[in-house]
Amino acid sequence: MSYHTSVPIKYIEGDEEALETSFQSLEIASTAGAETEQEGFKPSRVVIMAARVLIKGGYQPCNGLGNKLEGIAEPAEALVEMKRLIEQERPKFQSLVEELEAINLGGEEEKKEVRVGKQMPPDLRRSLIELLEEYADVFAWSYQDMPGLDREIVEHRLPLLPNSVLVQQQLRRMKPEVALKIKEEVEK
């Protein structure tokens, strides 16, 4: 892929023949199968990064060369392809939430619930449930099942000084319509 465009700053070459030259050229070559028409060809990260910089910098495909990009307009297939590859490269966030089925490993009076994914193959799911039922007594289902556990770990307390006097904050003023909406929500 090569990129040529005019530069806003004019400079003069050291050669006497060139009175004015104002362009820059950027050529990106990949050693891993560049210029090949193979299916499955994936450009390197450097090529993708350079294409992003060019596109963000205002380069427009099909504008051609010349001062202020008014030159010949030929289709720039490589950059269109690079833009498509950049779009493919972006991460697509998918929900990792899987449908789960609740299974009770205890009796009716004692609830020991585990959740198993519904997308799991049926034979694997069945063997997993059998294994969990067999070893259900190994798991701690409540704090009473863990007699050696220190209550300091699981109890939540507010860090207050024992001899301090509590101070109530003043109510903040707000718009009447907001106050009505809050009052309606509290009453629900």
* pLDDT per residue as tens digits for the range 71-125: 445 555 666 777 777 777 766 666 666 788 898 888 888 888 899 888 888 899 9
Give the start-to-end residue ranges of the domains of the chain.
2-89, 100-144
Which residue stretches of the chain are H helix? 45-56, 77-89, 122-134, 151-154, 176-187
User: How much of the chain is in helix, strand and coil states, percent to nearest 5?
Assistant: 35, 15, 50
Q: Which pTM was predicted?
A: 0.33
Predicted local confidence at residue 184, as pLDDT: 92
Give the amino acid at 174: M
**Phi, psi angle pair for 142, to nearest 5°:** -150, 175
Name the pLDDT band for 50 (thresholds 50, 70, 90): confident
Contact 115, 104 (CB under 8 A): no
Predicted local confidence at residue 93, as pLDDT: 64
Taking residue 82's Cβ as centre, other Cβ atoms within 10 Å add up to 22
- Is residue 19's pLDDT more than 60? no
